[in-house]
């Protein structure tokens, strides 16, 4: 006698795809006339900050202004472009620096006491003002999640419309760890009163810089 369970399993096997036969990644139809402008506006809407500058040197100049404004004394930085190969201590000698993966000492303890964490990002999603950040050698999540202020320098070439478009445009398997960052840390109590910076960075700042002629 064929039971309902047997019938369901039989039909499931008939409909099962062959291994590796997955549908293609879906690409959304969202388009924005100005990806930079949309990103800046979207991030502002979720209590983040962003600006667009013409070049990497202008981005470092803006970063210097921000470090001075914050009064940063301890800064941790991921060992990734555009920071890798740059002598940050020579540019800002009054700051105590820790480079993830290279500097001696306890990275977690340094991040917990750091004024600022610096990173880049794999992508910037214009629709929601979100950065896509992956971890790996020299790129620690602690630098972006445990500090008081997170500042990211991101080339405009990494702007894309949304998460679906970014995913569809990838040609390699996704990394083991992906973090989506949309603004500073936010939480709400039972009465839905918003609090910022309780469980992570209280400020999230993105500097988009021109990297194309």
- Output the domain CATH number for residue 141: 3.40.50.10420
Q: In this predicted structure, what is the pLDDT of residue 57?
A: 96
Domain annotation covers residue 19: no
Q: In this predicted structure, what is the pLDDT of residue 113?
A: 96
Q: In this predicted structure, what is the pLDDT of residue 213?
A: 53
Q: In this predicted structure, what is the pLDDT of residue 18?
A: 59
Q: In which residue are the tokens 């970014």 written?
A: 166
How far is 168 from 174, CA to CA, in rounded Å?
11
187 phi and psi, to 5 degrees? -150, 165
From residue 128, alpha-carbon distances to 48, 101, 135, 169, 198 in Å are 11, 31, 21, 18, 22
Domain annotation covers residue 4: no
Domain annotation covers residue 111: yes
Domain annotation covers residue 65: yes
Domain annotation covers residue 33: no
Domain annotation covers residue 156: yes
* Backbone CA torsion sign across 46, 51, 56, 62: negative
Q: Are 34 and 190 contacting, i.e. CB atoms less than 8 angstroms apart?
A: no
Domain annotation covers residue 81: yes
Task: Specify the pTM.
Answer: 0.85
Domain count, the chain: 1
Within the chain, which residues score under 50 in pLDDT?
none
pLDDT tens digit sequence for 179-200 = 999 999 877 777 777 777 677 8
What tokens appear for 92 in the block?
């800002």
Q: In this predicted structure, what is the pLDDT of residue 1?
A: 62
Range(s) of the domain holding residue 145: 38-209
CB-CB neighbours of 149 under 10 Å: 21
Q: In this predicted structure, what is the pLDDT of residue 22?
A: 61
Q: In this predicted structure, what is the pLDDT of residue 194?
A: 73
How far is 54 from 144, CA to CA, in rounded Å?
24
Q: In this predicted structure, what is the pLDDT of residue 23?
A: 64
If you write DSSP's letter for every residue of 79-134 in order, what string do you get?
SSTTTTT--HHHHSTTSEEEETTTSSS-HHHHHHH-SEEEE--SEEETTTTEEEEE
Domain annotation covers residue 195: yes
Helices (H) and strands (E) in the chain, counts: 7, 12
């Amino acid at each position: 006698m064929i039971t309902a369970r047997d019938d369901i399993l039989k039909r499931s096997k008939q409909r099962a795809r062959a291994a590796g036969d997955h549908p293609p990644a879906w690409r959304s139809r969202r388009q924005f006339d100005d990806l930079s402008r949309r990103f800046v506006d979207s991030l502002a809407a979720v209590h983040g900050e962003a600006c667009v500058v013409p070049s990497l040197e202008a981005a470092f100049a803006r970063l210097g202004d921000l470090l001075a404004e914050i009064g940063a004394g301890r800064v941790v930085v991921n060992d990734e472009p555009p920071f890798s190969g740059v002598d940050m201590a020579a540019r800002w000698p009054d700051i105590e620096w820790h480079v993830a993966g290279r500097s001696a000492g306890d990275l977690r303890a340094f991040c917990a006491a750091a004024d600022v964490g610096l990173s880049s990002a794999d992508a910037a999603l214009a629709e929601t003002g979100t950065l896509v950040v992956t971890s790996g050698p020299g790129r620690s999540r602690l630098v972006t999640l445990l500090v008081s202020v997170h500042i990211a320098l991101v080339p405009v070439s990494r702007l894309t419309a949304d998460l679906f478009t970014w995913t569809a445009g990838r040609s390699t398997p996704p990394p083991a760890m992906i973090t989506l960052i949309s603004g500073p840390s936010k939480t709400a109590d039972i009465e839905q009163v918003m609090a910022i910076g309780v469980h992570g960075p209280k400020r999230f700042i993105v500097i988009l810089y021109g990297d194309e002629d």
